[in-house]
Amino acid sequence: MASRPLALALCLGWLCGCFGQASTANLSEPQRPNFLIIVADDLGFSDLGFMGSEIATPALDRLAREGMVMTDFHVSPACSPTRAMLLTGLDAHRVGYGTMWDEAAPEQLGQPGYEGVLSADTPTIAERLSAYGYRTYLSGKWHLGSAPAQWPTERGFDHAYGPLAGGASHFADQLPLFFPGQEVPDKAAFIDDGALLTDLPDDFFSSKNFTDRLIALLEQDRSSDQPFMAFAMFTAPHWPLQVPDEWRARYRGAYDAGWDQLRTSRAAAVKEQGLLSAQGPIPERLPWVDPWHTLTAAQQTRAARTMELYAAMVSNLDYHIGRLLDYLDQSGLADNTYVVFFSDNGAEGNPVARIVSDHEWVERRFDNRLENMGRAGSYLYQGPGWAQASSAPLGWFKTFPGQGGIQTPALVRGPGIKAGMITHSLTHVLDIAPTVLELAQAPSAATPLLAGTSLVPLWRGQRTTVRDADAVLAWELFGRRALRQGRWKILWLYEPYGPGRWQLFDLREDPGETRDLATQHPQRMAQLIAAWEDYAREQQVILPAKDASYALEPDWR
C-alpha cells in the first residue's frame, strides 16, 4: 500500500496546488521542451502503489509526488484504438480503428474507418513535430500496421524498435500471441528502424530491452540542440505473464486470500487515498467468476501464482520506468522534459485462449506447469477474477467501456507543473496531441481537426477543469458503447454482458456503475442518447448487429 506520507503529500498538493496558481516561469523560456510519453499495456486502475495497491511501484509513486495525478483520464477499451488516438489526436473511427485488426463485424468489412491499420491520410504528432525540428523515437509496441509502409519509421519516427503486433513472448523466443497458422509467422515480427529482426539477444526481456534501446537513442543524440519526443511503449503487463527468474517470487503468498478479498481491499485503499472523487459501492463479482472459496486447493494455488506473476510484471515495469527517470536526471534533461504516463486500457479479464486460431494450441505448445509459470515457454493471463480486482473500485475491464476498461490514472511531470497536484478533471487520451503541439509551439497546434482539448491550462494551474459542464466524450468498440457528460454516463452492452439497452449511471455517486438510473431520469437519458447518436453520425460509426469482441460468451473459466 502507498505510504501515509505519500498520501498526505498528494492530498496537500491537491488542496494547495489544484486551486492555486502554479509557477510558469520555466514554460516561458524559449527552449522548446522534450516529451517522454510512457504507455503501459493492460494495467488495471488500482494496480499502482500510490493508488493504495500492494504492488510496489516506487518510480511511478515518485512521478506522482513530483507532478500531477489525473485521476479521471480516459482511453479506449482496447490498445490499438488508444494508440491511434494518442498519435493523431482524432477519434479512432476517423483513423482506421473503428475496430481492431481482424475483428471487423460483417457490417464493417471494407468500410472506411474500419481498416484496422492507422490511416495514411492523417499526420501523426511524430510527423508534425519531426517537421518542426524534433527528434522522434519509439521503443516498444506499435500495433498500428505491419506492412512496411505502415511501420513507425514511415509515420514520422526517426528511430523505432520493438514488436509490430499487439505483443509476443516477453523473452527472446519471439513466440507470437496467436496460433502460428496460415497468416501468423512462427515468430512475432520485431523491427529495428527499417529492418526486421530474425533473432533477439539471448538475455532479451521486453521491458528491459525497450528501455535499453530508448536510453541508447537518447544518449546517442544527447549533444543535439534539437528537442525530442520519445515514446516508451511497453508490452507489460500484457499477457503472456512472464518475468525474469529473479522477479518470479517477489509476491509469493501475497494473493493466497483470493480475488474476492483483493477486490474489496483494493477498493477500500483507493478510497482511503482520496484518489477517486466518489465513495459509491463496488461492483459485485461477475456471475461467471467462481467465488474464491469454491476453488480446489490446486486451483487456488495456480490462480494465486498467476496474480503473483502479474504483480511482479508491474513492479518490473516500474523498475525500468525508474531507469528512464534516472537517465533524465543524470543527463540534465529532466527539468525541460514533460513525462506523461498512463495505460492503454484496463486490465485483461477476457478469455485469451479463445483468441487463438486453435483453442488447444496453448495446451499443446506451452509448458504451464506450476514450476514453469512465468518463464519462457509459458502462456498465462490474468482472467476476470483478478482483472476485476485490478479494476476496483471500478467495474469491468479491457474491451468494455465500463469505467474499469477506459479509466486509467495518468501522471505528468514537467516544466511549470507543481509537485503533488491531483485533479479529478475529466480528461482523455485525445487531449495529449493538442497539448504536446501547443507546448512545442508547433504551427499545427491550432489545427481545427484535433478532437481533444489542450491540457496546458490544467497543467499550469490556470484552470481546475478542462471541459465545460456540457461537453461530452463518447466510445464505441465491438458494438459496446458509452457517453460521458460531467457526472452522468450512459452505457450499452449486448446480452449477456448487459441488458441490451442503454443504462444510466451517476459517476459522482456511483463510480462502479452499480445502480442503473435510467427509469428515474428519462429526460436526461433521452438527451444523452441523442448526444451519442450525434457522435456516431459525426464519426461514421457502423454498429455490429451483435457483440463483436473476442469475448464471444461469458463462459470464461
- CA atoms of 153 and 133, how far apart (whole Å): 16
Q: What is the mean pLDDT of residues 309-336?
A: 98
Q: Which of these ranges, 21-30, 175-184, 293-302, has the smallest mean pLDDT?
A: 21-30
Tell me the mean pLDDT in the region 433-441.
Answer: 95
**Residue the block writes with cell 490474468:** 382
Taking residues 98-120, what's their average pLDDT? 92
CA distance 108 to 170: 33
Q: Is the pLDDT of residue 356 over 70?
A: no
Is the pLDDT confidence value at 288 over 60?
yes
Give the range among 222-226, 308-312, 354-358 with minimum mean pLDDT.
354-358
- Judged against a pLDDT cut of 50, whether residue 66 lies above it is answered with yes
Query: Is 34 a residue whose pLDDT tops 80?
Result: yes
- What is the pLDDT averaged over residues 298-306? 98
Position 550 scores a pLDDT of: 74
Domain boundaries, the chain: 4-469
Q: How confident is the model at residue 362 (pLDDT cuts 50, 70, 90)?
A: confident
Where in 383-468 does DSSP place strands (E)?
407-413, 421-423, 427-428
| Residue 177 confidence (pLDDT) | 86
Rounded mean pLDDT, 267-296: 90
Q: What is the mean pLDDT of residues 427-447?
A: 86
Q: What is the pLDDT of residues 399-423, one digit of tens each?
A: 999 999 999 999 999 999 999 999 9
Active site residues: 79, 143
HEC letters along 164-212: CCCCECCECCCCECCCCCCCCCCCCCEEECCEEECCCCCCCEHHHHHHH
Q: What is the mean pLDDT of residues 96-120?
A: 92
Q: Do the strands 421-423 and 68-74 form a parallel or antiparallel pair, or are they unpaired?
A: parallel
Q: Is the peptide bond before 240 cis (omega within 30 degrees of 0)?
A: yes
Q: Given this model, what pLDDT does residue 341 score? A: 98
Q: Are 1 and 49 in contact (CB under 8 A)?
A: yes
Q: How far apart are CA 552 and CA 548, in angstroms?
A: 7
Q: Check whether 298 has a pLDDT greater than 80.
A: yes
Residue 542 pLDDT greater than 80, yes or no:
yes
- What's the whole-number mean pLDDT along residues 488-492? 98
- Among 285, 283, 497, residue whose Cα is nearest residue 393: 283
pLDDT tens digits for range 150-199 = 999 999 999 999 999 998 999 999 998 876 565 556 889 999 998 999 99
Give the pTM: 0.93
Residue 27 is predicted with a pLDDT of: 37
What's residue 16's pLDDT?
A: 35
User: Which range is least confidently modeled, 226-235, 268-277, 377-386, 531-540?
Assistant: 268-277
- pLDDT band at residue 544 using 50, 70 and 90 as cut-offs: very high
If you average pLDDT over residues 136-160, what whole number do you get? 97
Residue 12 confidence (pLDDT): 32
Q: What is the pLDDT of residue 293?
A: 97
Q: Is the pLDDT of residue 444 over 60?
A: no
High-pLDDT (> 70) share of the chain, %: 90
- Above 60 in pLDDT, residue 465? yes
| Residue-level pLDDT at 351 | 82
Mean pLDDT score across all residues of the chain: 90
Strand partners, 190: 163, 197
How does pLDDT run across 186-238, given as a tens digit for each residue?
A: 889 999 998 999 999 999 999 999 999 999 999 999 999 999 999 999 999 99
Residue carrying C-alpha cell 536526471: 329
Count Cβ atoms below 10 Å from residue 492 Cβ, excluding itself. Answer: 21
Nine-digit cell at 527?
A: 438527451
Q: Match domain 4-469 to its CATH number in 3.30.565.10, 3.40.50.1860, 3.40.720.10, 3.90.79.10.
A: 3.40.720.10
Report, as an integer, the average pLDDT of 450-466: 94
- Counting residues of the chain whose pLDDT is more than 90, the rounded percentage is 81
8 Å CB contact between 106 and 137: no
pLDDT at 21: 31
pLDDT at residue 17 greater than cutoff 50: no
Residue 10 has pLDDT above 60, yes or no: no
The stretch 492-498 carries a mean pLDDT of 94
Using DSSP's 3-state secondary structure scheme, residue 548 falls into coil
Least confident span in 275-279, 281-285, 543-547: 275-279
